[in-house]
Amino acid sequence: MNREDDLVKLARQLRWQLGENFHDKLVEGIYADAHQIVRDAVQRQESGATPLDIKIDRIVTSKRFGFPIMFALLALVLWLTVVGANYPSAWLHELLIGKLYPLLHAAAGRLHLSPGLAGMLIDGMYLSTAWVISVMLPPMAIFFPLFTLLEDLGYLPRVAFNLDRVFRGVGAHGKQALTMTMGFGCNAAGVIATRIIDSPRERLIAIITNNFSLCNGRWPLQILLATIFIGALVPAQWSGLAAMAAVVGIAMLGIAFMFLSSWLLSRTALRGEVSSFHLELPPYRPPRIWKTIYTSLMDRTLIVLWRAIIFAAPAGILIWVVSNIQIHGVPLAARITDALDPIGWWMGLNGIILLAYIIAIPANELVIPAILMLTVLIHHHTAGVTLFEPGQTTQVATLLRQNGWTLLTAVNLMLFSLLHNPCSTTIYTIYKETGSVKWTAMAVLLPLLLGILITVLIAFFWRL
Amino acid sequence: MTGEPLHTTHDCASCPQATMAHLQKLGVETRGFDFVVALAGNPNTGKSTVFNALTGLKQHTGNWPGKTVTRAEGAFVFKDKKFKIIDLPGTYSLLSTSKDEEVARNFLLFGRPDVTVIVADATRLERNLNLALQILEITDRAVLCVNLMDEARRHGIRVDLRALARRLGVPVVGTSARYLQGIPELLEAIYDVATGKVRCKPHRIQSLPPHIEKAVRTLSQKIEQQFPGLPNSRWIAFRLLEGETGIIEALKNQMSG
């Protein structure tokens, strides 16, 4: 069409007359107008004293205290989670598995359900769901509100400010600190959040390495194993502290791996300049504590729990089925885990854990329930009989130890939980955001291979 | 509120409780709306909090810039009209080319919302007005929502809302969205602008050097000749003079679509 060409021609002519600095003049004009309007409409009482915000920022972003305060806050949040989750977890376990589970079996018996159907529904679907709830709900119900309070307060941008130097040092973008902290909630959310990074190179680094942030599907596993195996290494009064230290250690290790792999990527496949950016430190806002707790429980906790349940119920049925299909007298699941056992042994894990990881590709939350169910169904295969004695809250620990778990198994499982492929939701998100099979594959394989390498090395030296 | 407003005196009808009684939060149910409202503003000014207050949704809010990266949609009914509302990601400027600001930029220019609510931080009004002035170049149906008034008060900042409204030529409402203060007034303002009860005369950028102003006028007149009824010919002229010739293509699509 002709008329557009006319416009473009006229615009080009005028641009020629105006010279190069049109953009600057336009922006100057806008600023001047804004300044004038505000001068007329806004009155400020200058108090002379330094505002409290700035005083606090001088401390929490200082070179000396910035990092210690960050570690202390993370440790505090995790300690409250570990210690606080213990009791409700035990109650829920007692209620759902100690009390309700035998009742369901009794009811099934009275209704004359076939043992197969009853097993699939109760030992499969119900049990896996009950485990997900009792293991996941309490830590999430404590961790999320605490994290949201920090977020509402305005602390996250300060974390980004503190970590900016480190990120720049490894050739990544300072805003990656924000996407990293989002990843502590959910890696898929963290990957979407990388849109705040302009440069495609640095955005890819942030996407590929986001999985090194422990997500909410993995925190409960860390907390559970740390409580059972690490906490047991020290006298009872110190066990909460030791467990917390172990979980903080794993989270820190994840951050270290994020830096390391960012550095590697920015030296190899994603070479380039570090771009500069401005970051606004928002004012501290006193969080509305009850509202925050309520909404973070309703939104994050229940939504994440619901997602876990949706995946757990069918996964429970699947696990029950593969544990009960017999091939030449041996359950299918046992055949698979037997085949995986040698690989598991090299990694300091076992076949059941590896099969659990395959089943849990849709959601990391499933790893623990899948491990427990497979362990129970394969090794104590006594269909129809109640597998759990009511009133025993340390059952998980006993069960795992009985089946040959050692400190090495726990340590390596914690490490493998940190270092393995992202869940399928995150993988799909990465593909949507990058639009590239190559980078998606990189994001999947990099942590997985790293996890295998590290666990094999640790298992090797541990056994020397 | 099923009965007829029989004896409502003016005072009673305009009090906040009465106004809120006309609000029906619809969450994500956005079908069959009468008007589209866009929420725009600098990052971290409380757009999502305003959005939640109007729709009853619980869009995640957080105290850091860049929290919303995709647009969220919701709906509410106020009085006799149904509004669809879109929470846009925060943006510092419409003149930039950065990716995270693209969603907001494109929607404001080509989505043609019926009302654009510009959410500004009362404690950082001058910086926030830079974006507001750009938005007022694009649309003549806008409301300025000066949010975080409680914080401004705490910091000894007094905002003269009437003076702002006079200078900007659009309704200006002060809010503390976290505490639902000012939301009734905001609803009234949105309703009035959407239904045409209030006509805006938005501020146009004045402090341009004469030779630039002349070039902009020449070009925008030509644009209006060729695209009659275009409300933002000056903005198109700005973009063309910056060398963004692609905007013509987009404009053509919009006019034919």
Which residues of chain B carry a pLDDT beneath 70? 1-17, 60-70, 97-100, 254-257
Higher pLDDT, B85 or A217: B85
User: What is the average per-residue pLDDT within A14-42?
Assistant: 88
Strand partners, B132: none
CA–CA separation, B89 and B66 (whole Å): 7
Confidence at residue A92, expressed as pLDDT on a 0 to 100 scale = 87
Q: Which of A26, A30, A42 lies at the smallest CB-CB distance from B125?
A: A42
Q: How far is A26 from chain B (nearest CA, A)?
A: 7
Length of chain B: 257
Q: How far is A75 from chain B (nearest CA, A)?
A: 21
Answer yes or no: do B241 and A18 touch at CB < 8 A.
yes
Residue A417 contacts residue A221 (beta carbons within 8 Å)? yes
Q: How far is B197 from chain A (nearest CA, A)?
A: 25
Confidence at residue A175, expressed as pLDDT on a 0 to 100 scale = 87
Instruction: Assign B220 to helix, strand or coil.
Output: helix
- At B141-194, the pLDDT tens digits run 999 999 999 989 988 899 999 999 999 999 999 999 989 999 999 999 999 999
Instruction: Find the residue in A nearest to B162 (Cα).
Output: A41
Q: Which of A196, A198, A291 to mutate to test the interface with B (most CBs of B within 10 A)?
A: A196
Instruction: Find the residue in B nearest to A52 (Cα).
Output: B155
- At A166-196, the pLDDT tens digits run 888 888 888 898 889 888 878 888 898 888 8
What are the chain A neighbours of B129 within 8 Å (beta carbons)? 33-34, 37-38
Higher pLDDT, A444 or A199: A444
Amino acid letter for position A92: L
What are the chain B neighbours of A299 within 8 Å (beta carbons)? 58, 60
CA A383 to chain centroid: 35
Answer yes or no: do A14 and B95 touch at CB < 8 A.
no
Answer yes or no: do B155 and A51 touch at CB < 8 A.
yes
* Confidence tier at A391 by pLDDT (50, 70, 90): very low
Q: How far is A422 from chain B (nearest CA, A)?
A: 22
User: What is the average per-residue pLDDT within A280-300?
Assistant: 78
Answer yes or no: do A26 and B238 touch at CB < 8 A.
yes
Instruction: Find the residue in B nearest to A161 (Cα).
Output: B64
Q: Which of B63, B226, B242 lies at the smallest CB-CB distance from A7?
A: B226
pTM assigned to the model: 0.75
Residue A273 has pLDDT above 70, yes or no: yes
Higher pLDDT, B35 or A464: B35
3-state secondary structure chain A: CHHHHHHHHHHHHHHHHHCCCHHHHHHHHHHHHHHHHHHHHEEECCCCCCCHHHHHHHHHCCCCCHHHHHHHHHHHHHHHHHHHHHHHHHHHHHHHHHHHHHHHHHHHHHCCCCHHHHHHHHHHHHHHHHHHHHHHHHHHHHHHHHHHHHHHHCCHHHHHHHHHHHHHHCCCCCCHHHHHHHHHHCHHHHHHHHHHCCCHHHHHHHHHHHHHCCCCCCHHHHHHHHHHHHHHHCCHHHHHHHHHHHHHHHHHHHHHHHHHHHHHHHHCCCCCCCCCCCCCCCCCCCCCHHHHHHHHHHHHHHHHHHHHHHHHHHHHHHHHHHHHCEECCEEHHHHHHHHHHHHHHHCCCCHHHHHHHHHCCCCHHHHHHHHHHHHHHHHCCCCCCCCCCCCCCCHHHHHHHHCCCCHHHHHHHHHHHHCCCCCHHHHHHHHHHHCCHHHHHHHHHHHHHHHHHHHHHHHHHHCC
Confidence at residue A60, expressed as pLDDT on a 0 to 100 scale = 86
* Confidence tier at A410 by pLDDT (50, 70, 90): very high
What are the chain B neighbours of A160 within 8 Å (beta carbons)? 64
Confidence at residue B31, expressed as pLDDT on a 0 to 100 scale = 76
Q: Which of B63, B99, B135 to mutate to test the interface with A (most CBs of A within 10 A)?
A: B63
Q: How far is A30 from chain B (nearest CA, A)?
A: 6
Residue A434 contacts residue A204 (beta carbons within 8 Å)? yes
Confidence at residue A353, expressed as pLDDT on a 0 to 100 scale = 94
Q: How far is A304 from chain B (nearest CA, A)?
A: 14
Structure-token pair, residue A352:
């059941």
